[in-house]
Structure 1
Amino acid sequence: MRNYLLASAAFLAGTVLAHAQAQAPVPDNLEKLSSFQSTGVTEFTYVPQTGDYADGIKKNLERIKMPEGFKIALYAVVPDARHMAVGPQGIVTFVGTRKDKVWSVTDRNKDRVADEVKDFAPSLKFAIPNGPCFSKDGFLYIAEQNRVLVYPAAEFFYESPDVAAFNVVKQGELIPPSEESYNHTARVCKLGPDGKLYISLGQPFNVAPPEKLDLYNQWGIGGMIRINTDGTGREVYTYGIRNSVGHDFHPVTGELWFTDNQVDGMGDDIPPGEINRQTAPGQHFGAPWYGGGSVRTNEYAGQEVPVDVVMPAVEMVAHAADLGMTFYTGSMFPAKYKNAIFSAQHGSWNRTTPVGARVMVTFIDDEGNARSEPFAEGWIDENGEYLGRPVDVAQLRDGSILVSDDLAGALYRIWYEGN
């Protein structure tokens, strides 16, 4: 069974790819959509939700271990599923990828299993649209490799191939085009308590070289920026991040918390991964002088650190690749999970024996002290083979959570049935 999922994933990817290649190339229709004009695109790509492929994923979920009373099931088959944004109306969940698709996932009969998965806005060309996020009033933002678009009323327009779409950050203005890379380009966005848009910008190197630091600090590369929702007022909010692919705001304090992926090539057990807590604008979290936690990078070893560094709130196991995270605000789970962080460990290529491939939970006390423990695990089998690689966690309106998996190409739903 452990090889079944990988073979099935390859089959499904080939089917979707063949369908896409059979269609004519999609022109850049943003100007038409911004003027509420039709583009002439009429076809969607639909993803089958039943059959042998889905059955194989369900079989693998029998291995997953969680605390007593929790259940997990396949919610949707979603190729290359990365970060998720659940619509405020509870109608549709949008799922980004590191390729050229955004998927819309709909549970029409509300049986807590998706009925339909189709591509969102097929009349547009996307470039690594990893990061969707919603405002409370229903505006969908999608952070791509080098632009940010907004889709008003996306939960309703998504039924058509043409959707109203507008620039927030134009193509080529999120980062300098000269700094576009194939590495660390998966952006994540969230709306903060201040109503502003917070976007992480991973720097492309394992360890950023000295000659790049001034430019990166200016743009917020290797950090996080915040902007008004119309794209104005850009400022660098966070410095010294290697590659953060998950952040959220504490429901009570409003403080920004985020994961960070740390330096490769230093051995199996160092440096640690991080979950960080930011308490003020402009704080620095150590990169490139630190590789993770208090571990200094080889490239900057012995050098004086020229900034005040905030150390992580929690050190995670090395090379587990901590990615998406969300604070739990629902009422379905037991009370101890209220305002805890659920986060996904994707697992890194840079470890002899794989770790991660699980969902973690981080509990935070009233003073901001945090501790983490595994919540759902079992996606690495006894041979050290990945059966899935969790990417992100999102909360549904009923208080259950979704977990995305870009290896299996799936969303899982976790709910509680205990007392």
Structure 2
Amino acid sequence: MNAIPRLLPLVVSAALAVLPAAQAAQDNVQALSDFKTTGNTKPAEVVPQTGARAEALRENLKAIKLPPGFRIELYAVVPEARAMAIEPSTGVVFVGTYKDHVWQVTDRTKRRVADDVVQFASSVNFKVPNGVCFSADGVLYIVEQNRVLGFPAAQFFGERGPDVAAAVVVPQGKLIPTQFESFNHGARYCRVGPDKKLYIALGQPWNVPPKDKLAEVDRNGLAGIIRMDQNGKNREIYAHGVRNSVGLDFSPKDKTLWFTDNQVDGMGDDTPPGELNHATKAGENFGFPWYGGGKVRTEEYRKDTPPAGVVFPVVEYAAHAADLGMTFYTGKMFPTKYQGGIFDAEHGSWNRTKPVGARIMFTAVKDDGSVGETEVFAQGWLTPNGEYMGRPVDVQQLPDGSLLVSDDYAGAIYRISYAK
């Protein structure tokens, strides 16, 4: 805690430089930035971790198939659990949602199961706070549909009640032009890179954008991945031609960016493929909307010439399986086969006559950065008769090397561990 007083003024002062007071006052962020109370006396929502719902989730997990030696257990009951960020010193898990809640999940006894799940920063009016990520120096970034906030020492301030230290990194309405706000592809995803910059994936609001909107979409970083300083300055477009990425991570070996992308809907059950992409430098174009996924051309842009030097995916996933959150495995708990590889959460299809997905995939990554085989790692959330009993969204690694999987359909987080 000794570093917190020194950290907070730096973060808050940087954010205040770009903070319009009238906008921030709408949801108490101005007061929180000034370390003032908001007068909010409403208790934060608490999610029970015992009872019939928890037991039903545990029963469902008996259907999940894993490689020998692996075990899956219920870690926490978390409504609408989507992207996760794990604070490295305490293992506290922050969980974004597609609605208006962010959850703080705490395992106090290190039994590798949550002791409590509590609403985080209930004084703040969030709007689609899907994206959550930590910087190396302990700031939690929450990326909403059209705003970015920073929360220093979130795991400690969140324990104290609804009022937390907060700073505006990107003000409301300034992450994307408000005309492009949409319930479609409005869930952001973020990571803080090895360069200490904040990377944010910005999905565009259409299945395929109309041609008269494409230039403006690209100019503002939609259908792409942007990066900026942690105070919101020096924003730039890092990757173009990305339809809707909801999962990204950096290679622990060469520090390059890898990300999933969701392909165009309505082109048939088995086309186009989902994508795992590898960005090696700023400014690359990954082909959308000229390509709907992989090298499959879209009908809307079939007669148009794609940009030069399009970067195609390193892995083509099953069509419409909806590959979302991904992470490089850097732990030692799992066997050597999995170390350094990529785990990826497939949310499951909606635009397919026979559903596919709702599973965790694994892709081996070789020492030279090329990919090996991709295989199913965990499956069973899609029942034999085609019903979902869970839909994985994100995968993140706990400090002990076990893997967490979020599920927004069942409202849960699972923990996968290994023992010989």
Q: Normalising by the residue count of structure 2, what TM-score does the alignment of the two structures yield?
A: 0.92
Aligned equivalent of 1:281: 282
| Paired residues of 1:320 and 1:346 also in contact (CA < 8 A) | yes
SS in structure 2 opposite 1:367? coil
> Aligned letter for 1:334?
P
1:123 aligned to 2:126? no
Aligned equivalent of 2:419: 417
| Paired residues of 1:84 and 1:93 also in contact (CA < 8 A) | yes
Deviates more, 1:304-313 or 1:156-165: 304-313
- Cα shift at 1:80: 0.3
Output one character per residue of 1:337-384: Cα deviation in whole Å (capped at 9) or x when no partner. Answer: 111111100012101111100001111113332231110000011110
Gaps of 5+ in 1: 1-25
CA distance, structure 1, for counterparts of residue 224 and residue 30 of structure 2: 31
| Paired residues of 1:89 and 1:155 also in contact (CA < 8 A) | no
> Aligned letter for 1:290?
Y
CA distance, structure 1, for counterparts of residue 66 and residue 124 of structure 2: 40
| Paired residues of 1:27 and 1:123 also in contact (CA < 8 A) | no
1:37 aligned to 2:39? no
CA distance, structure 1, for counterparts of residue 293 and residue 86 of structure 2: 31
Aligned equivalent of 2:221: 220
- Cα shift at 1:301: 1.2
Output one character per residue of 1:216-253: Cα deviation in whole Å (capped at 9) or x when no partner. Answer: 12111000000000100000000001000000000001
Pairing of 1:8-407 with structure 2 (within 5 A): 28-42=27-41, 43-160=43-160, 161-370=162-371, 371-407=373-409
CA RMSD of aligned residues (A): 1.0
> Aligned letter for 1:64?
I
SS in structure 1 opposite 2:212? helix
Output one character per residue of 1:243-287: Cα deviation in whole Å (capped at 9) or x when no partner. Answer: 000000000011100000000000000000000001111000000
Gaps of 5+ in 2: 1-24
After TM superposition, the runs of 4+ consecutive aligned structure 1 residues lying more than 2 A away are 366-369
CA distance, structure 2, for counterparts of residue 365 and residue 151 of structure 1: 36
CA distance, structure 1, for counterparts of residue 386 and residue 334 of structure 2: 31
| Paired residues of 2:131 and 2:187 also in contact (CA < 8 A) | yes
Aligned equivalent of 1:6: none
- Cα shift at 1:27: 5.7
How much identity, in percent, do the aligned residues show?
61
Q: Tell me the number of residue pairs that the alignment of Structure 1 and Structure 2 aligns.
A: 393
- Cα shift at 1:290: 0.2
| Paired residues of 2:91 and 2:399 also in contact (CA < 8 A) | no
CA distance, structure 1, for counterparts of residue 201 and residue 52 of structure 2: 37
Q: Normalising by the residue count of structure 1, what TM-score does the alignment of the two structures yield?
A: 0.93
> Aligned letter for 1:387?
M
- Cα shift at 1:158: 0.7
CA distance, structure 1, for counterparts of residue 355 and residue 260 of structure 2: 19
SS in structure 1 opposite 2:238? strand
CA distance, structure 2, for counterparts of residue 186 and residue 156 of structure 1: 26
Output one character per residue of 1:70-109: Cα deviation in whole Å (capped at 9) or x when no partner. Answer: 0000000000000000012124100000000000000111
SS in structure 2 opposite 1:58? helix
